[in-house]
């Protein structure tokens, strides 16, 4: 089976796709792309959409972490990514959808907001990546990429404040699914691989880590993706972080 995965280093759905390929034991080559430039590069190699993860496998092109999960399951059913019991499958698919649609976007917004304030941490998210130029040079030219990424992801003050207000409820949902056995079972499933990288990315942000690392969601991320790359030192305003300390958001 010939497989090539197109990723942005440290992108959480890209890490989800990597983990699922590894779970299936499918060897693959990886192409690392820089944000923004990735959109042009993906079109140039024939993908219809502009986001990573994107996978070429056995002549077909699959884009999107959830679509990749299904294609991998079709091509190589064992070990499974989805439970065979219909009710359990519905629960895993709902958690997976939540991970994709509700958990991924706030993590992206918070990270790009932080990088927009201070670009230095960006380098730590690309450690070990092969982006076709020395990392040091890429970082010197990163300003327009950061500005565009923050704009594309609507990483503005208002959205990030709202993300932080909602984060405790999102984490609680993950904890509840772990308690119910939908996530974090002996056999990891597509929802574990979808959700754990978003939690892992959040824990690279030092302001968020204390509210996450000691709860079940944090333990799941440490189990599934123990070596998540990147580190963002404290940068978020203290009053925006109040909801994570169990306090109401300041007006």
Ligand X SMILES: N[C@@H](CCC(=O)N[C@@H](CS)C(=O)NCC(=O)O)C(=O)O
Residues at the contact surface with ligand X, assessed by CB under 6 A? 8, 11-13, 35-36, 38-39, 51-53, 64-65, 100, 104, 108, 149
Q: Measured from the CB atom, is 120 or 151 closer to ligand X?
A: 151
Q: Quick one: 113 or 241, whose CB is closer to ligand X? A: 113
Quick one: tokens of 62?
């699959």
Question: Which tokens go with 60?
Answer: 């077909």
How many CB atoms lie under 10 A from the CB of residue 3? Answer: 17
Helix (H) and strand (E) counts in the chain: 12, 4
Farthest CA pair distance, the chain: 55
Main-chain dihedrals φ then ψ at residue 32, nearest 5 degrees: -90, 130
**From the CB of 65, what's the least distance to ligand X, in Å?**
3
Residue closer to ligand X, measured from CB, 11 or 204: 11
Please provide the DSSP assignment of 181-207 as one string. TSSS-SS--HHHHHHHHHHHHHHTBTT
Residue 128 Cβ, how far from ligand X at the closest point, in Å? 17
Minimum CB–partner distance for residue 18 and ligand X (Å): 12
Please, which residue, 32 or 100, has the CB nearer to ligand X?
Answer: 100
> What's the chain's length in residues?
251
Min dist CB 6 to ligand X, Å, is 9
CA–CA gap between residue 202 and residue 99 (Å, rounded): 13
CB of 35 to ligand X, least distance (A): 3
Question: 51 or 124, CB closer to ligand X?
Answer: 51
């Amino acid at each position: 089976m010939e497989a090539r995965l197109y990723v942005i280093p440290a992108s959480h759905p890209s890490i989800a796709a990597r983990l699922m390929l590894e779970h299936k034991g499918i060897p693959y080559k990886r192409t690392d792309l820089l944000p923004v430039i990735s959109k042009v590069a993906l079109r140039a190699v024939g993908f219809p959409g502009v986001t990573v993860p994107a996978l070429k496998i056995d002549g077909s092109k699959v884009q999107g972490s959830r679509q990749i999960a299904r294609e991998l399951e079709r091509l190589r059913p064992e070990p499974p990514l989805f439970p065979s019991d219909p009710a359990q499958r519905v629960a895993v698919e709902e958690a997976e959808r939540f991970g994709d649609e509700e958990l991924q976007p706030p993590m992206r917004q918070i990270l790009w907001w932080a990088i927009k304030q201070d670009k230095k941490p960006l380098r730590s998210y690309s450690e070990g990546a092969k982006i076709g130029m020395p990392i040091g040079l890429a970082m010197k030219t990163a300003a327009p990429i950061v500005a565009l990424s923050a704009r594309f992801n609507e990483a503005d003050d208002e959205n990030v404040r709202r993300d932080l207000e909602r984060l405790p409820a999102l984490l609680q949902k993950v904890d509840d699914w772990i308690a119910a056995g939908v996530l974090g079972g002996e056999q990891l499933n597509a929802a574990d691989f979808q959700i754990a990288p978003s939690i892992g990315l959040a824990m690279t942000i030092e302001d968020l880590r204390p509210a996450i690392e000691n709860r079940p969601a944090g333990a799941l991320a440490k189990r599934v993706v123990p070596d998540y790359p990147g580190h963002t030192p404290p940068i978020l305003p203290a009053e925006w972080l109040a909801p994570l300390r169990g306090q109401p958001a300041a007006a």
